[in-house]
Structure 1
Amino acid sequence: MKSRVIECDVAIIGAGSAGLPAYREVVKAGLKPLLIEGGPHGTMCARVGCMPSKLLIAAAEAAAAIRHAPGFGIATAGGPRVDGVAVMDRVRRERDRFVGFVVDDVQAMPPEHRLDARVEFLRDGVLQSDQGHEIHASRIIVATGTQPVVPEIYQPLGELAIVNDDVFDWQDLPRSVLLIGSGVIGVELGLALARLGVRVRVLNRSDSFAHLADPAVREAAVAALAPELNLVRRAQVTAVARDGDQALVSWSAAGGPPMQERFDRVLLTAGRRSVLASLRLERTGLPLDDRGTPVIDPATLQVRGQPVFLAGDVTGRHAIQHEASDDGRVAGRNAAAWPDVRPQPRRAPMAVVFSNPQIMQVGGGYGAYDPDTMAIGTVDWARQGRSRVMLRNQGVLHVYMRRADQRFIGAEMVGPDAEHVAHLLAWALQMELTVPQMLQLPFYHPTIEEGIRTALRDAAKHAG
């Protein structure tokens, strides 16, 4: 088949949460883009990530609220009855609605701006599609995202071994699920399934939990959530076999006896890898690290010395939707301005786990903790007024302050409304506020936000 040549200023490989903002920046600059997508449109977030997971979590929260009602003196005889078919029907319908909005935006683009095809590099600046196109681009943005890892030990399970992408196409809820990994996906989906009546167990090979760095906050999160997850830490899966329509999994934990359980599904949440192998980067002059990933400047997202940029999850830096979108904007602006490539300002780091109680992190915080230069302020939600009123009084908040100038530098938390606390503290961090300045801000009574004030006051006591 004869190649058809397409000329463009900027080729963007991947039409997801990073690729779409990159496209908009290139268009804004008046250059000719080509947005290339080799898979389904709709972004990973809308199709198999942020949005469908929150739909499943919302159903689980409704069931949990009914079980929680007797604590207020409200009788709910028999508890909730979960209709798994109806739950998953709503998840799929609303998921498809969110995906539809993104697809509509893509289809509204000029046809000459987009190409639905898989591509690989022929050489520097030239891509080849599986449909016979040869694409010449003076600049290229790689925003191909990541894909779940399925370790070899689980291969014998066939379709019983699943990744989170598979969950949201279920027609009904399974009776039992083993989750491998207690990161964000494992915690969110594990709790949702457990609260919807699925028998759940989570195995994690280390003591980590939801990527929390502060050991006190991490242990508070484990204390609050591990019982529902049937969490086993420092667990090693020793054997996996298929027995009819169930998975038979053997495992052992540090110092414990060998265990074996049966599950309808095994959900693998312990890792993802960048989608790069199919691009044939070895045909280019791009500098690659020992994993085959292009070496980039994190401030500009440019591959060293090349008119090539990486954006989003493919960088391996921040697997978070708003960070991917910011990456897309940075890569798009710099690709459009190339060779005048400049560092772009970034927002304060923030991450949220939609468990209940919720988990959040703001800034680097505990990762750089030094007791000689930093102070920690604490609030125990068990004693905080509004959280007790709502019977949501679990967890702890730690705020981190630099002693020398009392600058607020981050926080970690498990507790009520952590998603909202995270935003307030991320705004304070980005504005470079000190703890005394934050204490001058208004706090309404009685609110969860008063707990922030308690933690800040505690930190202020330790000013250097």
Structure 2
Amino acid sequence: MQERRVDVAIIGAGSAGLGAYSAARAHTDSVILIEGGPYGTTCARVGCMPSKLLIAAAETAHHVRDASAYGVHIDGDINVNGRDVMARVKRERDHFVEGVIDSVDNIDAEQRIRGHATFESPDTLLIDDHTRIHAERIVIATGSSPDYPGFLKAAGERLVTNDDIFYWDDLPESIAVFGPGVVGLELAQALSRLGVRVRMFGVNGTIGPISDPDIRDYADRYFNEEFYLDPEADTRNVAHVDDRVEVTFVERDSQREVTERFDYLLATTGRPPNIKGLDIDRACLRMHEDLPVFDRYTLQCQRRDGTPASIFIAGDANTELPLLHEASDEGHLAGDNAGRYPDIRAGHRRSMLTVVFTDPQIATTGQTWAEIEQRDSDSYAIGEVDFKEQGRARVMRQNHGLLRVYGEQGSGLFLGAEMFGPQAEHLAHLLAWCHQQRMTVAQMLEMPFYHPCLEEGLRTALRDLNAALRMGPAMARHYMENGPGS
């Protein structure tokens, strides 16, 4: 077995691992990057990018079907060619993956190694049966993998995850989706708009990252206009019958027990971290619920005795914020601290920002409602806008959704927001920037708002909040942004 000694070993060459490698290299050339699976990152291969390609096709089909509402009439039937849709998804997906692989190929061959890493001791890694690496510091950036409850395994070979569907050659006729989280919602709506019969089942009533009950109820009603969604489903049985999936459940409205068959069962019920295969117990780390205990500002793990370890954990592997931009930030922070060890530095953590690319989009930023409601009831206020009468939204026939913003009584600080609305990805970025700058609602209202833009709807919500904070006049209950003089 080959023996190697390095300053920093990084397990995983995904978004967090590549960020860690780049940051560690600023301090030492004695770095090695270990990868046991395919190069290309989860985002590029089976996550963010291929899902957005599928969504883009779905949005095109949806807009074509809706064209007559604008007086634009499409002659003949609309034909969604599933093979053509998936061919483009895979072709463009491969382009993004190749870009990541090219960046890995640019890393010195002596600084990367293929194989599955396991801990032999807190400072020693075994790479399969061919290499032992003695590392002064180690970064765990092993990402996550899809998982599902045991009863779904009854679907047999008809059970798929998002890691599978982007390798399809064609679209199915029908699919049952279990798990209305971020991935499930995006894929369910996209497939529905592409002509696939969709039924979606949840367990605990949640819809994506929404915690505000008013927004959740709005989203629940809206999605059910497009496809069946029961976020608190009573699923009685799942079976593999005649090369299809048979699902027995209590229908939401009728309360009748019904049985339906589908081509596939898509499980989008979570992505636990890839920790179990590391023999993590040999790292002698302090653990909580099977995960290493770590400092979120330095990403440094703790030894069993509670003292700081020379091991860091970043990205989906620590489960804190399983988002690509967070994984990249965490990778740089962990790699920087591993490189400069023992001169550990606390990193800057950005304001929370989550976007779900459904239509309307879902977004949360700053503090969520779940966090806000933990405060004393007289310490915060809420402002909102319904996009039904928002001028630009009506022009684009996207006048659906609800935005709720939260502020702190006394200081007037903007605390956070949740929304289900048109182009929420852009509104959420503005709000995240304001939150990170610790702006007050009054300061946000001093910013320019062009007419006619969706941002005027944001201004309406902020004015409503400012009035609730008793720092501005009561809102006039009409939409001034529909015309000049607002």
Pick the TM interval, shorter chain: over 0.9
Q: Does the 8 Å CA contact 1:31/1:336 hold for their aligned counterparts? A: no
- Within-5 A mapping of 1:122-137: 122-137=120-135
SS of 2:170's partner is coil
Per-residue displacement from partner, 1:1-47 (whole Å, max 9, x unpaired)? xx101111111000001000000001112341110000000000000
Give me the whole-angstrom Cα distance separating, in 2, the residues matched to 1:357 and 1:142.
Answer: 36
Per-residue displacement from partner, 1:233-290 (whole Å, max 9, x unpaired)? 311322221112211111236792322110000000012211111110122311112x
Give me the whole-angstrom Cα distance separating, in 2, the residues matched to 1:356 and 1:418.
Answer: 9
Q: 2:279: which partner in 1?
A: 280
Q: Does the 8 Å CA contact 2:26/2:339 hold for their aligned counterparts? A: no
SS of 2:80's partner is coil
Q: Does the 8 Å CA contact 1:48/1:164 hold for their aligned counterparts? A: yes
Give me the whole-angstrom Cα distance separating, in 1, the residues matched to 2:360 and 2:154.
Answer: 36
Q: 2:357: which partner in 1?
A: 354
Per-residue displacement from partner, 1:323-358 (whole Å, max 9, x unpaired)? 111110111111112112222111111000101111
Give me the whole-angstrom Cα distance separating, in 1, the residues matched to 2:278 and 2:136.
Answer: 17
Structure 1, unaligned runs of 5 or more:
none
Structure 2, unaligned runs of 5 or more:
303-307, 471-486
TM-score, with length taken from structure 2: 0.93
State which of 341, 350, 363 in structure 1 corresponds to 2:366: 363
Q: Does the 8 Å CA contact 2:115/2:128 hold for their aligned counterparts? A: yes
Two-structure CA RMSD over aligned residues (Å): 1.3
Give me the whole-angstrom Cα distance separating, in 2, the residues matched to 1:329 and 1:128.
Answer: 24
Give me the whole-angstrom Cα distance separating, in 1, the residues matched to 2:402 and 2:72.
Answer: 28
Q: Report deviation, 1:159.
A: 2.0
Give me the whole-angstrom Cα distance separating, in 1, the residues matched to 2:76 and 2:181.
Answer: 33
Moved more, 165-174 or 221-230: 221-230
Count of residues in Structure 1 that have an aligned counterpart in Structure 2: 461
- Within-5 A mapping of 1:348-427: 348-366=351-369, 367-369=371-373, 370=375, 371-427=377-433
Q: Does the 8 Å CA contact 1:176/1:263 hold for their aligned counterparts? A: yes
SS of 1:351's partner is strand
- Within-5 A mapping of 1:23-422: 23-252=21-250, 256-289=255-288, 291-304=289-302, 305-366=308-369, 367-369=371-373, 370=375, 371-422=377-428
Per-residue displacement from partner, 1:344-379 (whole Å, max 9, x unpaired)? 111111000101111110011312234311111111
SS of 1:323's partner is helix
SS of 1:18's partner is helix
Q: Does the 8 Å CA contact 2:11/2:33 hold for their aligned counterparts? A: yes
Q: Does the 8 Å CA contact 2:315/2:326 hold for their aligned counterparts? A: yes
Q: Does the 8 Å CA contact 1:360/1:413 hold for their aligned counterparts? A: yes
SS of 1:61's partner is helix
Q: 2:442: which partner in 1?
A: 436
Give me the whole-angstrom Cα distance separating, in 1, the residues matched to 2:320 and 2:250.
Answer: 32
Q: 1:453: which partner in 2?
A: 459
Question: Structure 1 vs Structure 2: percent identity of aligned residues?
Answer: 45
Q: Does the 8 Å CA contact 1:240/1:249 hold for their aligned counterparts? A: yes
The change in CA–CA distance for 1:108 and 1:131 in structure 2 (over 3 A counts) is farther
Q: Report deviation, 1:156.
A: 3.2
SS of 1:360's partner is strand
TM-score, with length taken from structure 1: 0.97
